[in-house]
Amino acid sequence: MSKRTQVVIIGSGPSGLLLGQLLHKAGIDTIILEQKSKDYVLGRIRAGVLEQGAVALIEEAGAGERMRREGLPHDGTEICFGGVRHRIDFKGLTGKTVMVYGQTEVTHDLMDVREACGAPTVYEAEDVAIHDIATDNPRVTWTKDGRREEIACDFVAGCDGFHGVSRRTMPADILRTFERVYPFGWLGVLVDKPPVSEELIYVSHERGFALCSMRSHTRSRYYVQCNLDEKVEEWSDDRFWDELKSRLDTRAAAELQTGASIEKSIAPLRSFVAEPMRHGRLFLAGDAAHIVPPTGAKGLNLAASDVAYLSQALIEHYRNRSDAGLDAYSQRALARIWKAERFSWWMTQLLHNFPDSSGFDRKIQTAELEYLFSSKAAQTALAENYVGLPY
């Protein structure tokens, strides 16, 4: 293995893989270091609603063939309140759509194209450490099969998630973090049954939020709001289906096809942003820099917009010898991130039951929903944010 490369990418999730492919197509050498095994990475269950910008980047990376074939374009979504469903027409309001295609599938496709082009990825790279990021000669070390390895580089891209080493490498005196932890979680079930509706159904109910989603025409993903202290083991499949049906409108409850779950988990909800997203030669992207609650379907899409800005900036550096894009990266990315954080926070506030809500809070929530359903302007604002603000 070469002891020098141009960009070291830490993390082989979709953001790291997408960045790697965009740089590879521009003739920039990269290596990806991943702490976990390939099978572990592919076993992670994540959401899969893609904005048009993310779809375009995946296409640009050469990994869009299966997505075009198997992905499900959605022209809108439904919000159920008071037992009545109201449709938000994305295409009619904005001219744009979203694509439902699982994050695991995106990761798989990007892995396949990276392997096909021979670009190096090191799985099970342990004890990854980033050195000398404030100099012109950063380097990264790791352990593989008991042997310590080191590589020099021009830049390091930290795409290694919330718990990764990249953000921890940023100097504490320059890093600011902003966080909101929500007092509930989502209990999610994956089942090999056709979805109850052709589009997603978001549910605001007195028993709590629910979501009817999907991964394909034959695999569905359902969620119910639950307490953070609840255990997955306490939720049998029958209990889950009974609870979900109690929150759905009459028609959806009757048409819901239930079955044995193939995956069941509880995800806590949080909003988190770290800034700046650059120090020296180290750049953060994706969950390493920000987390959004899943309500607005922004997690993977924000990672994609980070990668768009960062790949453009790195290509500009090597092709034009200009660092303008690199210098502006953090500011550009954060401006879009905070807008998505606001939207995800707003959707979460709008649709969930908060345990400390007063009667006044609940009346405001009802008024907000009734206004949304009666106002084309309000629906357009929701649709614009959901399909994705421009990069």
Q: Is residue 38 annotated as a catalytic residue, yes or no? A: no
DSSP H or E run through 140: strand 139-144
**CA 21 distance to own-chain centroid:** 18
What's the N-to-C CA distance of the chain in angstroms?
A: 36
Q: Is residue 202 annotated as a catalytic residue, yes or no? A: yes
Catalytically annotated residue among 14, 24, 74, 317 = 74
Per-residue DSSP letter, 316: H
Q: Is residue 355 annotated as a catalytic residue, yes or no? A: no
Q: Which two tokens stand for residue 49?
A: 């609603």
Catalytically annotated residue among 14, 24, 182, 202 = 202
Say if CB 277 and CB 330 are below 8 A apart.
yes
Tell me the C-alpha to C-alpha distance, in Å, between residue 50 and each of 96, 221, 383, 391.
12, 16, 14, 14
Catalytically annotated residue among 298, 309, 317, 329 = 298
Nearest-angstrom CA–CA distance, 385 and 391 = 12
What φ, ψ does residue 141 adopt, rounded to 5°? -120, 155
Catalytically annotated residue among 294, 309, 317, 352 = 294
Q: Is residue 101 annotated as a catalytic residue, yes or no? A: no
Q: Is residue 183 annotated as a catalytic residue, yes or no? A: no
Catalytically annotated residue among 182, 222, 223, 386 = 386
Three-class SS state of 322: coil
Residues labelled catalytic: 74, 202, 294, 298, 386
